[in-house]
Chains A and B, each alone.
Chain A
Amino acid sequence: MEGVLKARKKKADWKQGLFLISLLAYPILQFIIFYVIVNAQSILLAFQTLNKDFEWTWSGLSNFQAVWTDFCDSEALLQTSFFNAIRNYLISSVLSYPLTILFAYVVYRGFRGVKAFRIIVMIPSIVSGMIMGLVFKRFVYAMPNMLEKAFGLVIPDLMSDPDTVYGVSLFYSLWTGFAGAMLIYPNTMNGIDKEIIESARLDGCTSLQELWHIVLPMIFPTLTTYLVTGISGFLSNAGPVFLIWNYDAPTPVYNVGYFIFRRIMYDGAVWYGYVAALGLFCTFISIPITFGLKAFLEKVDPTND
């Protein structure tokens, strides 16, 4: 009897094993090829250059030296790109995250008009970020003419004036960047136990107190996810720069994502090694920041209590 049971268990284990292999074989293989091998190839590329016969040759640390030289040179595009990428992340963290949470809280409370708001906020994703960007570009181009005609106000061309282009690019990123969070945050807030909220309200808790003392602590893990993954994105996102300026972006709007995309797609294979070295350099800089922030946020996470 025991033998039969053992044989049955063994058969069931085999069936389960085969089932799991059938589920995980594709994702694991995909991961090995397009994450592990691509990253390994990128690391190898960082130590190679393309010679004039279009052959890849080992070049030691020359790509890293070139990246470091450009990184230290205030006149080089790379330094501007780094500076802008960091600036974008910090400004969006300080401005965009608090606003997102406040907006999401108002949506969660279900005040009049919030359904329409949630739909409108999705517009950049629905009609395409590309269309939004290109319409925005034409809209901003047309503005000086309109302002001069209507109010006699003379303003520079915001899309080409070096003093305003960065602001335009940042404004666009912030302006169109609420869609994803507006889908996630209000739903996460809806998952909070209604009894906690109701008893707090009965005790005279105001909306702001409710947000600060109940809602924020309860959605803290979601907040952590957005903040931490935001770091991994800030060096790779080209933002709206390619969309608005194509391959001819003015220097003040360059960021690391755009810099890399342009070098690969426009300038070609001769830059592959430099860009791969730059990628490793970025990873080297941002890993301690990412894990430091993750550890800090997990330490202060009120849901741990």
Chain B
Amino acid sequence: MIKQVRERKIETKSVVSAVVLGTIGVIMAVFALSLVVPIVWMLINSLKDDYDYLMNPFGLPSEGYWMWSNYPYAFEALKIKDVWQPHTHKLVTFDYWGMFYNSAVFALGTAFMGVFAQFITAYAVSKYDFPCKKLIYNTAILTMIIPVVGTLGASLQVRKVLGIYDNMLLHILTASGGFGFNFVLLYNALKALSWSYAEAAFMDGAGHYTVMFKIFLPMMFPILFSLFVLSFIGSWNDYSTILTYLPSTPNLAYGVYYFEQSATSKRHTDPQVLAAFVWLAVPTSLLWVIAQKWLLNSLTMGGLKG
């Protein structure tokens, strides 16, 4: 009798559990659909003319009015004219490829410097014992959790004094620190790797750099690659850093932002603006397709204990 009651209880709990998980599954499906719809909407509407877009914003383009020409138009019109160059004292026009180049340099440089600086910091702190180790680790954690607000003005002043403001190369070299979320993530991953590999290598006469670059770097490669790709995508799409710190080297994201903001005055239609959005999204979408296998499976995060 008791056994039967117990089995019935377990059965009821299993049914409740299945219903809850099923409901969550439905919510996830609706949520996923809600993220796809605007992208499909953007693609469809980028192929309309302005009248069709205004009169029929949620349907397919009218027959005979598939405006493929919006794409070459947006490509040509994605231009920022007369950008003052403080170092050469000239006015320069940036077209799609000019901004693409800035995007590539900015995204590659920022992603590489960021991931590398965080890797070497995490490696030193997680694998070696030295006097300030605890201090550095606690500082890294504290900077993550202490809310620092309102330093934008001071940051602009310091960068202007040091000559870093509006200089792409110096910005890339100085913007990436060794701390932050990625530091914690890499620290935890490195901590989990056994030091015995290094000891064996030291016995064979290897130096510290050899151990770091030839043993631990390859073992960390999947995580580092994932962080690099995520950082690259983030920097590729970053227009606010350009707006704030690098106004004379517009990247593609800033170019599209500018294109959208000036659409009314320059008489770009909404479908043409949507086509410009697609031009920006193509490179990162391709990169995501190539790298998603690594990205989805390599990142974990631990706690904040100092």
Contact = CB atoms under 8 A, between A and B. Distances in A.
Contacts of A286: 147
A298 B181 CA distance: 19
Interface stretch (B14-22, B74-82, B91-99): B14-22
Contact of A142 (B58, B139, B174, B253): B58
B184 A225 contact: yes
Interface of A: 15-17, 19-20, 23-24, 26-28, 30-31, 33-35, 37-39, 41-42, 45, 99, 102-103, 106, 109, 111, 113, 115-132, 134-136, 138-139, 142, 145-146, 150, 175-176, 178, 183-184, 187-188, 190-191, 204, 206-209, 220-222, 224-225, 228-229, 231-233, 235-236, 242, 246, 256-257, 260-261, 264-265, 269, 271-273, 275-280, 282-283, 286-287, 290-291, 294, 298, 301, 303
Nearest to B302: A221
Contacts of A127: 39, 277, 281, 284-285
Given A120-B35, A142-B58, A175-B34, A265 B243 contact: yes
B62 interface: no
Interface in B228-267: 230, 233-234, 236-237, 239-240, 243-244, 253, 256-257, 260-261
5 contacts: A33-B174, A146-B57, A207-B17, A256-B149, A265-B243
B120 interface: yes
Interface of B: 10, 13-14, 16-18, 20-21, 24-25, 27-29, 31-32, 34-36, 38-39, 41-42, 57-58, 117, 120-121, 123-124, 128, 130, 136, 139, 143-158, 162, 174-179, 181, 184, 207-209, 230, 233-234, 236-237, 239-240, 243-244, 253, 256-257, 260-261, 270, 273-274, 277, 280-281, 284-285, 288, 292, 295-305
B159 to A, nearest CB: 9
Contact of B35 (A124, A204, A206, A207): A124
Nearest to A289: B147
B302 A225 contact: yes
Contacts of A35: 143, 148, 177
B13 A283 contact: no
